[in-house]
């Protein structure tokens, strides 16, 4: 085998800035010296549907997609989408979940119910579930559009990546617009207390 590959699946709803977040994550991992692959699907799926982005890094990465049950971290931008992708998470993996709810049309018009036991169901499989009020923090940071970067901040606590690289990548990507809010949102996300007093650690 070619050494350990770490798998992060980002999930959410079209329009939440998932692809920007996964781009930024890849920038940082590449600068850290990893081989990186990422995969997602464009086109029809974007119209308010579910969006997934798989990011894999390590010494050498082959498949750009994460096999089911092998995601080390599930980073969900919408609560119910975390549940939908739970099969991708390895047993005992980490689920970082935004508390934001976006209602699919059938739920919005009352035909189907939004699940009420999401956290409980996630805990059945995930070793750790970190709930993040990403939208609230983003608004606190000055722009609700920075919720995606806030979630990256929460994710960063689980990765062995130098903090200055994150800041550099955010500065690179947002130098024209929204830099301050994004830096602040990232810091707020990063300051989230980890479950069980856990600190930064390698997922291995």
Partner 1 sequence: MKTTILLSGNEAIARGAYEAGVRVAAGYPGTPSTEILESIIQYDTLYAEWSPNEKVAFEVALGAAYGGARALATMKHVGVNVASDPLLTASYTGVNGGLVLVSADDPGMHSSQNEQDNRHYARFAKIPMLEPSNSQEAKDFTIRAFELSEEYDTPVLLRTTTRVNHAKSVVRVSEPREPVFGRFERNPEKYVMIPAYGLKRHVVVEERMNRLRELANSIDLNAIEWGDTSIGVITSGISYQYVKEVLPDVSILKLGMTYPLAEELVRQFASKVQKLYVVEELDPFIEEQVRALHLDVIGKERFPIIGELNPKLVAAGFACVSRGEAFAAEACKIEKPDGKCFAPTPKRPPVLCPGCPHRGFFHVLKKLNAIVTGDIGCYTLSALPPLETMDTCVCMGASIGNALGIKRAMPDDDKTPVVAVLGDSTFVHSGITGLIDAVYNGTAATICILDNSITAMTGGQDNPASGKTLMGEDAPKLDLAGLARAIGVEDVLTVSPRDLKALELALKYAIQTDKPSVVIAEQPCVLIDKGKSVKLSPAAVDPEKCTGCQLCFRIGCPAIESRLAEDGKIYAQINANLCIGCSVCIQVCRCQAIGRCAQ
- 163 vs 156: CA distance, rounded Å: 8
# binding residues, partner 1 (CB under 8 A): 54
User: Site for partner 1 (CB under 8 A): which residue of 59, 92, 108, 193?
Assistant: 108
68 touches partner 1 by CB under 8 A? yes
Q: Tell me the window of 46-54, 152-160, 167-175, 191-199 that interacts with partner 1 (CB under 8 A).
A: 46-54
133 touches partner 1 by CB under 8 A? no
Looking only at the bridges linking them, the beta strands covering 89-98 and 35-40 are unpaired
**Are the C-beta atoms of 39 and 53 separated by less than 8 Å?**
yes
Nearest distance, CB of residue 79 and partner 1, angstroms: 10
Name the residue among 21, 5, 36 with its Cα closest to residue 76: 21
45 touches partner 1 by CB under 8 A? yes
User: Site for partner 1 (CB under 8 A): which residue of 59, 101, 112, 177?
Assistant: 112
What are the tokens at 38? 């990422």
- 120 vs 116: CA distance, rounded Å: 9
67 touches partner 1 by CB under 8 A? yes
Which chain residues interact with partner 1 by CB under 8 A?
A: 1-2, 13-14, 26-27, 30, 35-50, 61-65, 67-69, 80-81, 83-84, 86-87, 91, 103-110, 112-115, 121-122, 124-125
């Amino acid at each position: 085998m070619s050494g350990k590959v770490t798998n992060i699946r980002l999930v959410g709803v079209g329009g939440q800035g998932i692809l920007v977040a996964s781009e930024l994550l890849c920038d940082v991992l590449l600068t850290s010296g990893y081989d990186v692959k990422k995969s997602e699907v464009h086109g029809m799926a974007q119209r308010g549907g579910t969006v997934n982005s798989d990011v894999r890094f390590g010494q050498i990465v082959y498949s750009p997609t994460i096999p089911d049950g092998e995601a080390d971290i599930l980073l969900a931008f919408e609560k119910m989408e975390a549940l939908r992708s739970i099969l991708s998470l390895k047993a005992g993996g980490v689920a970082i979940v935004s508390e934001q709810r976006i209602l699919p049309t059938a739920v919005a018009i009352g035909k189907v119910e939004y699940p009420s036991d999401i956290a409980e169901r996630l805990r059945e499989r995930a070793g750790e579930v970190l709930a993040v009020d990403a939208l609230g923090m983003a608004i606190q940071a000055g722009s609700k559009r920075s919720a995606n970067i806030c979630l990256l901040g929460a994710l960063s606590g689980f990765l062995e990546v130098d903090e200055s690289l994150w800041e550099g990548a955010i500065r690179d990507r947002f130098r024209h617009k929204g830099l301050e809010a994004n830096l602040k949102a990232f810091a707020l996300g990063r300051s989230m207390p980890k479950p069980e007093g856990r600190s930064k650690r390698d997922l291995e």
